[in-house]
Structure 1
Amino acid sequence: MKVFLDDTRATPEGWERVYRVSEAIELLRTGAVELISLDYHLGDAEQGTGLDVLLWIEQAVRDSDFCPPVIRVHSDHRRGRAQMLEKLDVIQHSVHKSRNQ
């Protein structure tokens, strides 16, 4: 399954669209997500950001050996995108480290 987290952009063909962080995490928990593409700003601050999804993935990798899907960041929010790409590097390092132990 390919998951597209965004509140405004058109959903690419063949992708499952979610609007909220909680929806993205729910799908990630199933283990069926092969690819996830994240926006940072989701309209309402109470709904969280794409960074919150990455924070959840980071913790899941660390605490339960979660195998994350391929992750893309499609956000135009400059600061948010930079934060997300930094967190993505941390996640990739953690996955690489756990596989080599």
Structure 2
Amino acid sequence: MKVYLDDERETPEGWVRVYWPEEAIELLKTGEVTEISLDHDLGNDDHGTGYDVVLWIEEQALLNQFVPPKMKVHSANSSARQKMELGIKNINHIVQRHNKSPLA
């Protein structure tokens, strides 16, 4: 399943649209998400942003060896995009460390 987190843009064909971070996280918990595309600004920062999804994936990768889907950011907010992309880079480092550990 491909998940598209956004509040305004048109959903690409073949993607499942979600509007809030908790919706994306619930789908990620199923283990069926193969790709996720994230917007940062979702219309109500008090309700969360796309960065919250990155933080959740990062925590799960670190603590529970969660295998993340392919991730990309489609946010027009350049500073938030950079922050999210750095988070994704860190997630990839965590996954690589787990794969090199003797427990893997």
When normalised by structure 2's length, the TM-score is 0.95
> For residue 75 of structure 1, what is the aligned residue in structure 2?
75
> Any idea what SS the aligned residue of 1:46 has?
coil
CA distance in 1, matches of 2:60, 2:40: 20
How many residues were matched structurally? 101
> For residue 13 of structure 1, what is the aligned residue in structure 2?
13
Measured after TM superposition, the shift of residue 47 of structure 1 is 1.7
Q: Higher helix fraction: Structure 1 or Structure 2? A: 1
> For residue 56 of structure 1, what is the aligned residue in structure 2?
56
What percentage of residue pairs aligned between the two structures are identical? Answer: 50
Measured after TM superposition, the shift of residue 81 of structure 1 is 0.3
> For residue 4 of structure 1, what is the aligned residue in structure 2?
4
Indicate the RMSD between aligned Cα atoms, in angstroms.
0.5
Code of the residue aligned with 1:51 in structure 2: it is Y
Could you tell me which runs of 5 or more consecutive residues in structure 1 were left unpaired when the two chains were aligned.
none
Measured after TM superposition, the shift of residue 45 of structure 1 is 1.1
When normalised by structure 1's length, the TM-score is 0.98
Code of the residue aligned with 2:62 in structure 1: it is R
CA distance in 2, matches of 1:89, 1:66: 15
> For residue 30 of structure 1, what is the aligned residue in structure 2?
30
Measured after TM superposition, the shift of residue 27 of structure 1 is 0.2
CA distance in 2, matches of 1:63, 1:96: 14
Alignment of 1:38-53 (within 5 A): 38-53=38-53
Measured after TM superposition, the shift of residue 76 of structure 1 is 0.6
CA distance in 2, matches of 1:63, 1:5: 24
Measured after TM superposition, the shift of residue 46 of structure 1 is 1.6
